[in-house]
A and B are shown apart, each in its own frame.
Chain A
Amino acid sequence: MIKPRACILRTDGTNCDLETRHAVEKAGGDAQLVHINHLRENKNSLFDFQLLIIPGGFTYGDDVHSGKILAVELLAFLKEQMLEFIYTGNLILGICNGFQVLMRTGLLPGDDTNNITGTLTHNDSGRFECRWVNMLVQKSNCIFTQGLEDSVVSFQAAHGEGKFYTDKNTLNKIEDNNQVVLRYSTASGELAESYPDNPNGSLNAVAGISDKSGKVMGLMPHPERFVEYYHHPNWRRKKDKPHGLIIFENAINYINKK
């Protein structure tokens, strides 16, 4: 069987690419690191892949806004291709900086690439912070979280600009559409009301969202940092199936079944 192919997009300042590649490979996929220059020069085509991942990092130094310079570049050179990629049923995952990029291209929440309807802005604390967080998986049609609904997953969050912010209308709309996929919670699954359970002050504790089709997802915490049981900070207290791996396995299984 041919393994599902994942394009791990990298550019200046991408820095979670190698562990993301490992996560995809461990989940049974075939991952390739692709520099955006190669896509711009048509040395690689998005359509050789079924999964596009924009990994974490500080693309172009997060200058102006986090992920902004890459978002502008994607819209300027690859907008049609990306829309076509989504339209033909492929998957896109944005992690941390990748989520910021997807929001700033308008591909998330996904109505309009000409209009940015939500953002990820500075944490309420004003600080970059690295800590493990719990999230309650919401009921949704999102491919990446199938089977995890109503369970609590923990990943490491590591960001300074992760506060999900939007206007009331958009928030209502994405909640009504079940596009909120992950919400920060306590260990027992209650909605995180305050810091540090909600690490950044995100509205309604939103940690990850998808588009309406459930095929494009973005989240701030890092699933690729939890693909071995010993990645969890307390694996010496309790060993668990690595939650992050499930996210990647869901994507690979979906592509295999398609």
Chain B
Amino acid sequence: MNIQEIRVTNLHGITDIKGNEILYEIKNSLQINSIDSVKTAKIYRFEGISEQEASVLAEKLLSETIFQKFSLNKPVLSRCDYMLEVAYQPGVMNPEAASLLKSAADLGINTLKAVDSSMEYCLSGRNINTEDIDLITRRLLVNETVERVVKEKPKTLIIGGAPGETEIIPLCSMNDEEMKSLSKDRLFLNLDEMEIIKKHFTKLGKNPTDCELETIAQTWSEHCVHKTFKAKLIVDGIEKPSLMKRLQDSTSQADHPLVLSAYVDNSGVMELYDGFALCGKVETHNSPSAIEPYGGAMTGSGGAFRDIIGTGQGAKVIASTDMFCFAPPDLPYSEVPRGCLHPHYLLRRVVAGVRDYGNRMGVPTNNGSIHFHQDFKAKPSVIVGAYGITEKEKCKKREPRTGDYAVIFGGRTGRDGIHGATFSSGEMTNRTISVNSSAVQIGNPIEEKRMCDALLAAKDSGIIQAITDCGAGGFSSALGEMGQKVGVEVWLDRVPLKYPGLAPWEIWQSESQERMAAAIHPENIKQIMDICKEHNVEATVIGEFTGNNRLEVYYEKQKVCDLDMEFLHNGLPQRVMYASWKPQNIDKQHADRNLDYEEIFIEILKNLNVCSKEPVVRLYDHGVQGNNVLEPFVGENSEGPSDAAVITPVPGKSYGVVISHGLNPVLNKLNPYYGSSWAAAEAVSNAIAVGSNPADLCLIDNFIWPFPDEESLGALDMAVDACTDFVKATGMPFISGKDSLSSTYRSDSGDIIKIPPVLCVSAFGRIDSVNKTVSADFKQIGSHIISIGYNDTNQMGGSIYNDVLCAVDNNIPRVQPDKMYDVFKVLHKAISESKILACHDISEGGAAVTLAEMCFGGNMGADIIIPREEHPEHFLFNETPGCFLVEIPAYLKPSDLFTGIPFVHLGNTSVDKTIRVNQDNKDLFKVNLEELKTAWQKPMREVFGG
């Protein structure tokens, strides 16, 4: 069938934004100077329509004559020295296709069979050589995981294929070597686990189908079952309960009155006000983001949002957060490990993915952080959080009943994302990009948005019995878990597919995005179908909950999977694992750079882990939903960073939600215990700084750890101890969490890179009135600046100060959670009595950076005096959390406000736009605010513009 091609480009004189951006990257990132101009055109291809109809589409839909021109079945760009077309790989869903089909139908063109769109690039310049073109193509224009260069006009746009067969795997007769090779790159199970499966099937007297084997592998994957976290631990010879049990036990012992559900649902749920419940979930999406950062970050956001939507009987997403760890963006190409992507590219593409998913879904992204460390060059850490609200009476799941239908919603199923659960549980190697490319896909936030709207309408009608998202493991995981206690029968041939040709096991395991599954009573089926139709959402009954405790999957008449739920969910024996962490032998190294105060201060402000992230934050819509009452950047010129997000999720109500987090990729390596308490303390301090009541906060843990060998597991054991000790001391429980234990890179030649262990702690809670919250920008000239909190400023290990001075020391800050809690109580009281004008938590870069940020926000200076007994640099740059700088009005006495906790009256805010530091009646230094700010804002502007 004929394909009509329409090309659209901007008129001469209208800026080609995309072309200019690529030219900029060619010159700046790749340092290639042979290209003078890049022009772009969009190509649309339509199958099944006439040339005349194509011309209607071009005029009414695809181009706007005010600034564009188009061509039909001929080139539109001229005078090119090199021309290149880039399209999605066949089978990767092009999110635009559905819109094009819809619009064509709206315009009365009904014969359209298929459509695709792609980009055309026209490069011009003198002396272009093929080497440069090759580099530009690989590094800038094409991500081969999802895209390809189009060499010739396609003959058809329709993806065909006959459904694949179900295979019987001769497992029962396999030897160890054969089982190993079956597992590798497909099942990711170890030999012991393969042996258990083999025994099970030998007993049954049959060999498993591919579908059965894949189902078991997915259900038993580290990603889904958390084998390590559930393992019995032997730590330095002494047996300890599993990490999971310790975390959960500490939460139940805390017996927090606001907790509604902890560790049982897709997110943790606590009480809000007015009969509402607040839920929070934080996910990692490291493995997909490492190989296709844009799609990986997008689907990470999409998955976290679906966890909220799938909480209880359904919840509305009200906010999202993002925390990333990358190698420095200026890492030389030669240092990027084989099979890994450059951090500059990763950073920009991950940010773009988070931006496009959140912004389009209409979920404000209003809290986050970016951290940099060399050792993330093999794999970044990409952490996405989502928060939501629902009615308290709908915040808990119900069990599906026998006879309920299994209904799926949202996007169609394709071959994308197969093996995500098993793949993300494996280590990253230099083969990862080529072997597992089907594990990544591009998200479609609009699909998720309309599905979310429909499901919330269904929740309001009370017809959802149980709901869950289809994330890792697809239907296999979603229905296998939902039917765990009753049993479920599934008819895979009813699943709507993106294209034919999928084998039954692929349909069953596919991780195509934007799908959810629910249990719905038969008499409510019509109602749910009507709601979905109204929202343009596809919904299909694909199974029934049976009551026979089996997982039975059919494709047409053929039974492709028949498993006992008991074996599937409980057949995996508890692992016994050994752990032992030895402190690194660190030779204490003193500062080897000779810098004065001012130079150190500026070096620290422009350190990647301290510098302003404003250019990134502004790419995210943090105001959508109209609920933001503490923006990420505030102050006279909106340049001062905030400690936490505060939102009013119910319009018109002044009660609020606070969201914050803490993580430090350096400290856990030096000391896993104190590094972890640092993260928890930092998360909570950020929430307290804006006015939270410490009694109204809950926590979420995310452990992103190297593969659990004895040493890493020993570190993990200490990190969990730090968490549970924190809960005991403060009463703040962890109510949701996740572990990702695959932060290890292994190359062919045996090189191993362990990504730094990261614990990210997120804090969230309620605030009775947002009127009683405070921001970090200085408000008044001449007010008091007070430092409060417990610290030992000699604990400089892991600080930015040490980093800048190339000093090494493992004496990291040791938080005392019980004492810190006293500080929280006193500070909260002062804020709630409106006695605090500004408050900012002390973290990376220390009190000096905190002070500078408060000055940037207030657009005013400060004069401070360092106590005589303090080492000035340690005092200025120590990073102990649980310490704060506060601004109080000149007429208040600090001793009246901060009775019972350590405080230092540092000085006053000043009209001069300088920071002046004095000790013992001597001026140590005086520095211009503008100079500090320029240094602090520069690094991210260089990467993101602005």
Chain A contact residues, CB within 8 Å of chain B: 11-16, 18-19, 22-23, 26, 35, 37-38, 56-58, 60-65, 68-69, 72-73, 76-77, 104, 116-119, 121-122, 124-132, 156, 158, 165-167, 222, 224-225, 227-228, 230-231, 233-237
Q: Let me know if A58 and B99 touch, CB within 8 A.
A: no
Other A-B contacts than A72-B61, A235-B629, 16 sampled, CB-CB below 8 A, are A18-B626, A19-B626, A22-B651, A22-B652, A76-B107, A77-B106, A119-B66, A122-B17, A128-B621, A130-B618, A132-B638, A231-B626, A231-B629, A234-B634, A237-B635, A237-B777
B residues in contact with A15, CB < 8 Å: 360-362, 449, 624-625
B residues in contact with A11, CB < 8 Å: 536
User: Given the complex of chains A and B, what is the CA–CA distance between A206 and B361 in angstroms?
Assistant: 27
Chain B contact residues, CB within 8 Å of chain A: 14-15, 17-18, 20-21, 60-62, 64-67, 95-96, 99-100, 102-103, 106-108, 355, 359-362, 444-446, 449-450, 534-536, 617-629, 631, 633-636, 638, 648, 651-652, 654, 770-771, 774-775, 777, 779, 944-946
User: Given the complex of chains A and B, what is the CA–CA distance between A131 and B614 in angstroms?
Assistant: 10
Q: Let me know if B625 and A158 touch, CB within 8 A.
A: no
With A22-B651, A64-B103 known to touch, is A167 a contact of B66 (CB < 8 Å)?
A: yes
Q: Let me know if A73 and B103 touch, CB within 8 A.
A: yes
Q: Let me know if A61 and B946 touch, CB within 8 A.
A: no
Jot down 30 A-B pairs with beta carbons below 8 A, ordered by A: A15-B449, A16-B624, A22-B626, A26-B652, A38-B534, A56-B624, A57-B362, A61-B444, A63-B99, A64-B62, A68-B61, A69-B61, A72-B106, A76-B107, A116-B64, A118-B66, A125-B946, A126-B18, A126-B21, A127-B944, A129-B619, A129-B946, A130-B619, A130-B623, A131-B618, A230-B654, A231-B626, A233-B638, A235-B629, A236-B779
A residues in contact with B945, CB < 8 Å: 125-127
Contact for B620 among A68, A122, A130, A227, CB less than 8 A: A130
Closest 8 CB pairs of A and B: A15-B362, A19-B626, A63-B99, A22-B651, A233-B631, A58-B360, A13-B446, A61-B446
- Nearest chain B CB to A168 CB, angstrom units: 12
Q: Let me know if B652 and A69 touch, CB within 8 A.
A: no
- Nearest chain A CB to B410 CB, angstrom units: 12
Q: Let me know if A225 and B626 touch, CB within 8 A.
A: yes
Q: Let me know if A64 and B100 touch, CB within 8 A.
A: yes
- Nearest chain B CB to A92 CB, angstrom units: 20
Contact for B449 among A13, A119, A237, CB less than 8 A: A13
User: Given the complex of chains A and B, what is the CA–CA distance between A11 and B449 in angstroms?
Assistant: 10
A residues in contact with B617, CB < 8 Å: 130
B residues in contact with A77, CB < 8 Å: 106
A residues in contact with B648, CB < 8 Å: 228, 230
Q: Let me know if B774 and A236 touch, CB within 8 A.
A: yes
- Nearest chain B CB to A221 CB, angstrom units: 10
B residues in contact with A68, CB < 8 Å: 61, 103
User: Given the complex of chains A and B, what is the CA–CA distance between A131 and B623 in angstroms?
Assistant: 9
Q: Which residue of B lies closest to A132 (CB)?
A: B638
Q: Let me know if A12 and B446 touch, CB within 8 A.
A: yes
Q: Let me know if A72 and B103 touch, CB within 8 A.
A: yes
Q: Let me know if A126 and B361 touch, CB within 8 A.
A: no
Q: Which residue of A lies closest to B627 (CB)?
A: A19
A residues in contact with B99, CB < 8 Å: 60-61, 63-64, 69
Q: Let me know if A73 and B106 touch, CB within 8 A.
A: yes
- Nearest chain B CB to A88 CB, angstrom units: 26
- Nearest chain A CB to B70 CB, angstrom units: 12
With A73-B103, A156-B623 known to touch, is A166 a contact of B66 (CB < 8 Å)?
A: yes
Q: Which residue of A lies closest to B638 (CB)?
A: A233
Q: Let me know if A63 and B67 touch, CB within 8 A.
A: no
Q: Let me know if B66 and A76 touch, CB within 8 A.
A: no
B residues in contact with A122, CB < 8 Å: 15, 17
A residues in contact with B360, CB < 8 Å: 13, 15, 58, 61-62
Q: Let me know if A165 and B449 touch, CB within 8 A.
A: no
User: Given the complex of chains A and B, what is the CA–CA distance between A61 and B361 in angstroms?
Assistant: 9
- Nearest chain A CB to B386 CB, angstrom units: 15
Q: Which residue of B lies closest to A124 (CB)?
A: B15
Q: Let me know if B450 and A12 touch, CB within 8 A.
A: yes
User: Given the complex of chains A and B, what is the CA–CA distance between A158 and B944 in angstroms?
Assistant: 17
User: Given the complex of chains A and B, what is the CA–CA distance between A173 and B765 in angstroms?
Assistant: 53
Q: Let me know if A121 and B624 touch, CB within 8 A.
A: no
User: Given the complex of chains A and B, what is the CA–CA distance between A73 and B628 in angstroms?
Assistant: 33
User: Given the complex of chains A and B, what is the CA–CA distance between A72 and B634 in angstroms?
Assistant: 40
B residues in contact with A63, CB < 8 Å: 95-96, 99-100
User: Given the complex of chains A and B, what is the CA–CA distance between A161 and B724 in angstroms?
Assistant: 48
Q: Which residue of B lies closest to A122 (CB)?
A: B17
B residues in contact with A231, CB < 8 Å: 626, 628-629
User: Given the complex of chains A and B, what is the CA–CA distance between A117 and B64 in angstroms?
Assistant: 9
With A116-B64, A128-B619, A165-B66 known to touch, is A224 a contact of B626 (CB < 8 Å)?
A: yes
- Nearest chain B CB to A74 CB, angstrom units: 9
Q: Let me know if A131 and B638 touch, CB within 8 A.
A: yes
A residues in contact with B446, CB < 8 Å: 12-13, 58, 60-61
A residues in contact with B625, CB < 8 Å: 15-16, 18-19
User: Given the complex of chains A and B, what is the CA–CA distance between A76 and B108 in angstroms?
Assistant: 9
Chain B CB within 10 Å, residue with most, of A68, A117, A124: A68
